Structure 1
């Protein structure tokens, strides 16, 4: 066929040439004397199929990689997929539910068997789509965030950071997903504008026939109130110093605290303080040694500690408590109110701020060199306006909650001793050795230890991706990590700045 067809027919061209490229190993890369050009695919989740953003992203990467080859560079484009803890577990749970099987009826091992089956069935779809797209990846290097090398890398880094004091366990305020029943990081919360209601409640002053008005969008949380706060410079409330008020319906007597955190101009100038269910209230609680009352069960229903409406869903309680407050003469008024409400990125349910025992990474020391590299232009953003977004985020970064109450993912390598306390180790054998040393009991057995039930946040493996792909954590001096790392270009969406850029 010497004539050029008048119309392009993909079927005549794409499969033929892609097969030829693969057969002749034209996308393969090995370290040699040429200048390396390395790109790693931000690993898409195994939960489904590529969307238009992935298509655009990978096309741009392919153009950069092909250009590098034409320039004589040793181009290495590494593909892979992410296990996506929350999203994948939700898919598996839904599939099992359709079969009449509840996750709660399964052991961890039984559930993981179903999860791996789901991954094997669906996990390769994305890679096949990339091949259909014509992506010139080195397919022999395909990796998965939970394969053996990557899993070993994750555990090794966790232990290393823990031993350096950069990972710790403690009770802190987290974003709680009542549907997935797990904590989330700040970056996994999507804020949406909502038309809400603002409820003005009457808090009577103890032993007086007077009351103050407190406004809230979440009247159900009065069940966990342990104080009311006013600004000491607010002349309207100077008479409240040293007094106490009675929580509406609950009849709990709580102190009036005075702190300039309260904005005199906002609302009524009186702030209800619920330390267990609001980040700012939690800080006030710490400052004034207030008790924290956790009024929610993990699924968003009212707990026994709430005292009233026990077992009812939080949003049903909101409707009911408004009626009850009205009937008791404790509801001043209700107004329409527009505010931002946090939703889980994965399950699209309203997040509940909640005190919870979790694992965290201290971010200040880790953020400093990452910020420094960008500010010195050793790493450049395109467009460069994102440099300031990155800078602002890194300068205000908080400790990262890395534990997830899930079974699909890298299980946290912490092992609890019978007499209390725990050890952290990359393998059960090492954990047993440390446990015997810590307890002074040489006859301690593995069956005496209990491994932490939680898994690590998916991003804990993703942040190691450019290094773990070349086995640079398990074998830091190997030829490939020295040759291909650091990578040359990263193509990703702006919102991923806050995850693993």
Structure 2
């Protein structure tokens, strides 16, 4: 093995080997009685790997590699989503550079351009997945616009239409006035912004009185259909049934009552605009109000209402309406008001509730079976608390708008004749048969929401509606791993469609992961400048390049300067190359059931150190076999039996944690076994055992056996380094294995669990640690030989001493170990305990008592000054009020460490002073 661990070389080597030898194939274990399948949530074809992807993909890969190693026929199904709006925008931007638009190009040629773009640039995220070591079956990669998946989409649409579960109607939707399309709730980002609350005087018909109505969108008053008050609001009881003379309009609108009205908000009077507010829309339906749309597709005032504002942009019209109200003495007052503004995630345009003709799925008939599937336990959420969120949404579910007014996507398979009659069919030819010869048909211009095709993903990717071998083998799938933010948009719809079209739930388990946040617990976003790129963590990045990435595209200079300052402070030396394995181990360690997951670079550094430790340990082991053969029948020492026993207990815990989806506990278990049991203890014990002809052969076979199992156990988490170590071990063990991926996952061997060996080595560890603690506390050089006396020993201690004398001399650097039979024989010493047995280390000649007392007093004096500084900060009200919580917590931790160190030094001082 190379002296230095070099992840870059290792990763490049095995990425090629795994794919060249088709080791990710789901067809490789055709004799297996068991199948295991995970569906990759299809990332956008326009996307690149972000921290959330890398986190979830690591979890999926760990489970996939584990089940593959267990001999199951395993499919991790890859693919990408066509991402209708996002992809169309990318190609439109490219056309704009050429001073061309999609409308000039025409629909068919524009679609061809998108396919060209996908062929050239649409594989970014899949290449990045390869960097991460994702062991998906690449030969089965799918795309939501593939022919097979498109046929599945048509079949589902037609069947739902024929059953009356898909319909076309005019309803309120989220409308992006820049893109000119309906968008899903997931594509709407609501953020708190400073706005205004306008109070407007609405004259009561045939009186000189007014009602004061508060609104945050005064321009929508042009479409008001009523003014509503709460039925219990005694201020307005006498006005119920009367009408209002709508300002700036020639219309009269009724005064109505509705429980929805909040008496405490504003004046308790609410204007009702059914065509421009979702809550008002529902109220309009309840009270049979007129639904008046006042906007065009691009959010300008239309000609439906007779007004002076026709053709004005909505915000320009708002200003003019306020001015006109003020001129007519109808503006009561204006107050600053914070409110949630919905903006399109692609355009940042303010989203309008907009009344338009769209296609909808009648969802409630599909929702009930999906609710029952979770209630019955056919599907379980992990953690279970997500059940409540799921049930709440499903029980209040609204019909789903599935049409989008763009060109890229699955075009709706519906045709219209000149009278507006609808013919839904697989093709124009079939639609023509329905309409009759001689009838001119025009296909619907809209495409389906991307969530519609992705709702079929678990079964369409396996060949449905055909009865393929993959469909019968891998469906239902085993587990879905995804974030909580798409439980409604994707998870619930997959369950509904899976049950509807296959009769089976699409997966057995749904593992909902937390959201990766920065080290301070803040959501990662470009505007905050705290986004980390997984590939940068793998390869490393200079400060200069990181600054470029973080400020690219920022229009506000102040924001860019703020991000630069923050980045320079946090990454003064750039980001080192941690390698893929260290990053994957970090993600595994973070895979708890928490909703928010703080990502700290120090943890990646810690797991990079773990990889180094594993590498160096492996080099040590392999060097012990140069030009030697292994005696597989050798006698084992107690230390050999101990490490094999600890290994079995480790495997028991790993199995449990994997079954519980607690990958954080799995990784912690492996970390502690490898770092502490194997490296810190067994390798040190082996150095002495290898010098003894009686124990050498047994230690050799145990060293290589345990190392082989370690890399096999770790492989699902850190596949690259373990594959390299396994290949090196192969040369020693003379196995002809192609790859560690083809090795069975280690099983628990119960007869290797030895409580006797574990008890003896625990005794030995306590003895050695006691001596090392004395060395540390008394500042005794680590290699200085020590005299040692023991007292209060029993028969077991006697036996353990006899068995381990050479190891104690070697690891604890004992000059001698003598037994004391009475307390009077004990010299003035530092002491430690091993159960009831007392250890004495005479300090005469080892330390200069006066010098050591002076040194400790000096250290305590320094620490007292630091303590005063920390306490001063934390007792300063201005500091507590002005400093971020993370900084305050850092200061508290520093104070706690300082106090603990002072306490330790005082204890040492007492011990030395008493000698």
TM-score interval, normalised by the smaller of the two chains: over 0.9
TM-score by length of 1: 0.94
Taking the aligned partners of 1:347 and 1:385, their CA distance within structure 2 comes to: 35
Match of 1:152 in 2: 151
- Conserved? CA contact 2:32–2:72, under 8 Å: no
Q: In structure 2, how many angstroms separate the alpha carbons of the residues matched to 1:408 and 1:354? A: 22
Query: What's the offset of the Cα at 1:380?
Result: 1.9
Tell me which residue corresponds to 2:26.
29
Three-state SS of the structure 2 residue aligned to 1:359 is strand
Contact 1:220 1:318 (8 Å CA) reproduced? yes
**1:444 and 2:443 matched:** no
What is the CA deviation profile of residues 394-434 of structure 1, one whole-angstrom value per residue up to 9, with x for unaligned ones? 11111100000010000000111233311111222221112
Which structure has the bigger radius of gyration?
2
3-state DSSP class of the match of 2:333?
strand
* C-alpha distance in 1 between matches for 2:225 and 2:397: 29
Is 1:302 paired with 2:301?
Answer: yes
Q: Are the equivalent residues in 1 in contact too, given 2:183–2:404 (CA < 8 A)? A: yes
Q: CA deviation at 1:363?
A: 1.2
Aligned with residue 486 of structure 1, among 451, 457, 476: 476
Q: Name 2:11's counterpart in structure 1.
A: 14
Shift of 1:141: 0.1
Q: Which range is displaced more, 149-158 or 369-378? A: 369-378
State the distance in 1 between where 2:65 and 2:422 align: 51
In structure 2, the partner of 1:433 is 433
Deviation at 1:486, TM superposition (A): 0.8
TM superposition shift of 1:101: 1.4
Gaps of 5+ in 1: 437-442
Note the alpha carbon deviations across 1:186-212, whole angstroms, 9 max, x for none: 343332222221000000112221111
Structure 1 residue 367 displacement after superposition: 1.4
User: Is structure 2 residue 141 aligned with structure 1 residue 142?
Assistant: yes
User: 1:241, 1:256 within 8 Å by CA — same for their partners in 2?
Assistant: yes
Matched-pair contact (CA < 8 Å) for 1:302–1:312: yes
Post-superposition offset of 1:32: 4.2
Partner of 2:378: 378
Conservation of the 8 A alpha-carbon contact between 1:185 and 1:400: no
Residue 348 of structure 1: aligned partner? 348
Greater strand share, structure number: 1
**In structure 2, do the counterparts of structure 1 residues 484 and 32 end up closer, same or farther at CA, with 3 Å as the change threshold?**
farther
Give me the whole-angstrom Cα distance separating, in 2, the residues matched to 1:329 and 1:268. Answer: 18
Q: CA contact under 8 A between 2:196 and 2:337: conserved in structure 1?
A: yes
CA distance in 2, matches of 1:388, 1:309: 47
Moved more, 260-269 or 130-139: 260-269
Q: Distance in 2 between matches of 1:32 and 1:205?
A: 82
User: Does residue 5 of the first structure (1) align with residue 6 of the second (2)?
Assistant: no
> Could you tell me which residue of structure 2 aligns to residue 467 of structure 1?
459
Q: Are the structure 2 counterparts of residues 28 and 229 from structure 1 closer, same or farther at C-alpha, using a change threshold of 3 Å?
A: same
**Per-residue displacement from partner, 1:104-149 (whole Å, max 9, x unpaired)?**
3232112212222222222111111111221111111010000100
Partner in structure 1 of residue 80 of structure 2: 81
Partners of 1:309 and 1:99 lie apart in 2 by 36
Counterpart position of 2:289: 290
Q: Work out whether residues 405 and 453 of structure 1, in 8 Å CA contact, stay in contact via their aligned partners in 2.
A: yes
Written as runs of structure 1 = structure 2, the 5 A alignment for 1:48-59 is 48-59=47-58
Verify the 8 A CA contact 1:178 1:300 in the aligned structure 2: yes
Give distance in 2, aligned partners of 1:352 and 1:236.
Answer: 33
Tell me whether 1:455 sits opposite 2:447 in the alignment.
Answer: yes
Do the aligned residues in 2 keep the contact of 1:93 with 1:103 (CA within 8 Å)?
yes
SS at structure 1 position matched to 2:169: strand
Does the residue aligned with 2:356 lie in a helix, a strand or coil?
strand
Structure 1 residues 161, 203: closer, same or farther in 2, change over 3 A?
A: same
For 1:266 and 1:419, locate their aligned partners in 2 and report how far apart those are by CA, in whole Å: 48
Instruction: Tell me, yes or no, if the aligned pair for 1:222 and 1:274 is still in contact at 8 Å.
Output: yes
Counterpart secondary structure, 2:477: coil
Does residue 274 of the first structure (1) align with residue 276 of the second (2)?
Answer: no
* Higher-RCO chain (CA-CA 8 Å, sequence separation at least 6): 1
Give the distance between the partners of 1:264 and 1:43, measured in 2 at CA: 47
Question: 1:143-188 deviations in whole A, cap 9, x for unaligned?
Answer: 0000100111101110011111111111111111111111123343
Give 1:75-474 correspondences, 5 Å limit. 75-306=74-305, 307-436=307-436, 443-444=437-438, 448-473=440-465
Q: Distance in 2 between matches of 1:192 and 1:32?
A: 54
Q: SS at 1:354's partner residue?
A: strand
Could you tell me how far 1:29 is from its partner in structure 2? 1.2
With over 3 angstroms needed to count, the CA separation of the structure-2 counterparts of 1:32 and 1:268, relative to structure 1, is farther
Aligned residues of 2:414 and 2:423 also touching (Cα < 8 A):
yes
The offset of 1:33, in angstroms, is 3.6
Residue in 1 aligned with 2:525?
none
SS at match of 2:329: coil
Q: Counterparts of 1:340 and 1:217 in 2: how far apart (Å)? A: 11
Instruction: Measure the CA separation in 2 of the matches of 1:16 and 1:430.
Output: 53
2:486 match: 496
| Contact kept in structure 2, 1:187 and 1:498, CA below 8 Å | no
In the aligned structure 1, how far is the partner of 2:422 from the partner of 2:302?
A: 29
Comparing 14-23 with 153-162, greater Cα deviation is found at 14-23
SS of alignment partner, residue 499 of structure 1? helix
The answer as to whether partners of 2:36 and 2:74 remain within 8 angstroms in 1 is: yes
| SS at structure 1 position matched to 2:38 | strand
User: Residue 320 of structure 1: CA displacement?
Assistant: 2.8
**Following the alignment from structure 2 to structure 1, what is the Cα–Cα distance between the partners of residues 157 and 31?**
33
Deviations 1:253-296 (A, max 9, x none): 22222333323232211111111111222223223332222111
Which structure 2 residue ranges, 5 or more long, are not aligned? 492-915
Give the SS at the match of 2:235: helix
Q: Does the residue aligned with 2:195 lie in a helix, a strand or coil?
A: strand
Aligned equivalents of 1:322, 1:104: Cα separation in 2: 37
Distance (whole Å) between structure 1 residues aligned to residue 141 and residue 160 of structure 2: 27
Between Structure 1 and Structure 2, the one with more helix by share is 2
Deviation at 1:251, TM superposition (A): 4.1
- Judge conservation of contact 2:413–2:444 (CA < 8 Å) in 1: yes
Please give the secondary structure, in 2, of the residue aligned with 1:277: coil
Whole-Å separation in 2 of the counterparts to 1:154 and 1:335: 50
- Paired residues in the alignment total 488
SS at match of 1:34: coil
SS in 2 for 1:305: coil
Q: Distance in 1 between matches of 2:259 and 2:13?
A: 71
Q: Give the TM-score normalised by structure 2.
A: 0.52
Maintained 8 Å contact 1:48/1:122 = no
Find the aligned partners of 1:261 and 1:127 in 2 and give their Cα distance: 49
Q: 2:32, 2:71 within 8 Å by CA — same for their partners in 1? A: no
Per-residue deviation at 1:69? 1.1
SS at match of 2:6: coil
Counterpart in the other structure of 1:440: none
Change (3 A) 1:435 1:5: farther
Secondary structure of the 2:36 match is: strand
CA distance in 1 between partners of 2:7 and 2:171 (Å): 59
- Residue 71 of structure 2 corresponds to 72
Which SS does the other structure have where 1:500 is aligned?
helix
Query: 280-289 or 171-180, which moves further after superposition?
Result: 280-289
